[in-house]
Amino acid sequence: MANFLTDVREILAREIKLITSDVDAATQEKLIDKIVFSIHDKYAGASIYLTKSIEAVDTRNMRICKKFNGRNLREIAREYDLCDQQIRTIIKKKRKATQLNLF
């Protein structure tokens, strides 16, 4: 988590300094620290998963569904670094969405 917070702090520092150029550096640093500590307090000890993007996940899921032939679930799970259940869920959701679109 420490590396994550370091990265978050760097991103915040860059963005806050861009949008608050009229604010003195000490105040900017206090704001950055307050946000980082708030994130730490809220999420300390939690596992956080951030998707790459909705578009990337949808594209990945479409590829998974196209590759799935009913017998290659584990192979696809290994290829995409997902568990078998995640692959089943992706396929089930895509099938359900396709069925709804047909009627």
Q: Which tens digit of pLDDT belongs to each residue from 18-63?
A: 998 899 999 999 999 999 999 999 988 888 877 778 788 889 999 9
- Beta-carbon contacts of residue 24 (< 8 Å; ≥ 6 apart): none
H helices within the chain, ranges in order? 2-19, 25-43, 54-67, 73-79, 84-102
Nearest to 37 by CA among 8, 11, 15: 8
pLDDT reading at 85 higher than 70: yes
Question: Which CATH topology does 54-102 take?
Answer: Arc Repressor Mutant, subunit A (1.10.10)
Q: Return the pLDDT at 55.
A: 82
- Beta-carbon contacts of residue 32 (< 8 Å; ≥ 6 apart): 9, 12, 13, 16
Predicted confidence band of residue 4 (pLDDT cuts 50, 70, 90)? confident
pLDDT reading at 102 higher than 60: no
